[in-house]
Amino acid sequence: MIDVVIAGAGPNGLMLACELALAGARPLVLERLTAPSGERRANGLVGQVVRMLDRRGLYERLTSPGATPEPAPGFVFGAFPLDLRDLPDNPLYTLPVPQLRLQQMLAERAGELGIEVRRGHEVTGFTQSENSVRVELRDREPVEASFLVGADGGHSVVRKLAGIDFPGVTTDDAVSLSAEVSLPPEAVGAGGGLIVPGFGVLPPFQHVRTERGMIAWAPFPDRNPAITTTEWERPEEGEASLGELRASVARVLGADLPLGPPAGEGPHLIRRLAGGNTRLASRYRADRVFLLGDAAHVHSAIGGPGLNLGLQDAVNLGWKLAAELRGDAPAGLLDTYESERRPAARRVTTHTQAQSLLIRPGGDVTALREIFGEMLALPAARRHIADVLSGAEITYDMGSATGPLTGRWAPDLPGLRELTRGARPLLLDPTGELDPGPWAPHIDTVKIPELDSALLLRPDCYVAWQGTTGEGLQEALATWIRAA
């Protein structure tokens, strides 16, 4: 019998499959599409997931051999530029890589780990028993697994079949246009800004809000540049076109741009999106069925938090499912997937809704932005926003364990990126004298004299225990890592 069937071969489903395989489990990925979609979606990664990929040895696969993440000097929040250069221990990391490339890399990694991905396999139903899930497929024989995970997107079939509610709000008054374009060389300044006569300069990779809408200019280094506009109370008619985008730019900026068709062979991005959804699954689990990524939460793409949230879901769920499959998971471990990750999703839906309000036109929003802008001049406020955007503010309840880092994602420590590639629990001991007792065969213990205190890290790199003596260590091991 298969250990875990994962419905959906997008980045989140593939990441979960890789995490399961690292922990010794046998996943099977089922994908409805017969070939990867060429649809252009996310343009990069934002937040802790950048360093998480590095800790699994995947960051350099998307960049260059030997490359390591560096904090971003700036970002954007609700169309406000966010200067992060003066922040000590800046938590916000970015990686400008197209989602298609990320998905390709994860598929390659899955192949290296011996993970089977079956395309053209559409889930149509399932039935659960005490010890397994029988997954029904369209025009194919059913498969049986210990667990089923729905990583099949915002319209998740698995979620619907499980009877899990997806409450939230739908907005229908905004229309966004995005397209790859070409522009005269003289229109782009030395720093990548777009020179717009009659308006000024559009900075690269930032949202700019006017009293008539919002616009973003993205001069990608390895492909055609793109422009996105958002307007409110505009009708949508027919197929999206470059002419429609030109007209939208003129309305938002009050100035014309000489936009031309993109260079090279297509298909090229040209897309219109009307309205949006913010929804959060009422629960992440129905017995042996779990939800992951967009199947559990959808929200505005503003600020690019989606992959940070979904891939971190995968890292959280993977080691817990594997422990359950081995038969040595502590009591209630699987329930902590929802109790830890659903609040994280709630936080993302909150800040994306806040940003969506801040970019709207109107005098009342302008007044709000004036006050908000004054607050962002304060380093403490900018640090708070950076923590929110990156997910660095997220902490988990580690029970009776104490210490300033307990419950937090482990900071970068000497050698940590090499030590965490195998997705095993880690005991980082400055003395080399701590005794993990009967848990010793199931964790990696490493002496790091530079540390002020010992740290016990879960496979997802969260600190489960911190101390200078062994007090509480075995209790933490019993709670999180493995039943003795």
Cis bond leading into 267, ω under 30°?
yes
CA 209, 212, 213, 216 torsion-angle sign = negative
Q: What is the three-class DSSP state of 274? A: strand
Could you tell me the two tokens for 253?
């900026």
Find residue 6's DSSP bridge partners: 29, 149
Strands 213-218 and 444-447 come out as unpaired
Cα(317)–Cα(313) distance, rounded to whole angstroms? 6
Other C-beta atoms lying within 10 Å of the C-beta of residue 113: 14
Beta strands at 289-291 and 285-286: parallel, antiparallel or unpaired: antiparallel
Structure tokens at 388: 């929110």
Number of helices (H), then strands (E), in the chain: 12, 24
Structure tokens at 271: 């897309």
Encode the chain (484 residues) as per-residue pLDDT tens digits.
999 999 999 999 999 999 999 999 999 999 999 888 767 677 889 999 999 999 999 999 999 999 999 999 999 999 999 999 999 999 999 999 989 999 999 999 999 999 999 999 999 999 999 999 999 999 999 999 999 999 999 999 999 999 999 999 988 889 999 999 999 999 999 889 999 999 999 999 999 999 999 999 999 888 899 999 999 988 777 788 999 999 999 999 999 999 999 988 878 889 998 888 999 999 999 999 999 999 999 999 898 899 999 999 999 999 999 999 999 999 999 999 999 999 999 999 999 999 999 999 999 999 999 999 999 999 999 999 999 999 999 999 999 899 999 999 999 988 899 999 999 999 999 999 999 999 999 999 999 999 999 999 999 999 999 999 999 999 999 999 876 5
**In the block, residue with structure tokens 């031309």:** 260
Mapping DSSP to helix (H, G, I), strand (E, B) and coil, where does residue 172 land? strand
DSSP 129-141: -SS-EEEEETTEE
- Please spell the DSSP secondary structure of 429-442, one letter per residue: ESSS----GGGGGG
Position 239 scores a pLDDT of 86
As a whole number of angstroms, the distance between CA 455 and CA 93 comes to: 24
How many angstroms separate the CA atoms of 417 and 15, rounded? 18
Tell which residue, 76, 70, 63, 142, has the closest CA to residue 105.
63
Coil, helix or strand at residue 215: strand
CA distance 133 to 128: 4
Distance (Å, whole) CA 382 – CA 153:
32
Q: Is the pTM of this model over 0.85?
A: yes
Write out the two tokens for 176. Answer: 């966004």
pLDDT of res. 40: 67
Structure tokens at 476: 């933490």
Burial bucket for residue 411 (CB in 10 Å: 0-12, 13-18, 19+): middle
> Which residues fall within 8 angstroms of residue 277, CB to CB, at 6 or more apart?
154, 168, 169, 170, 171, 298, 299
Say how many residues make up the chain. 484
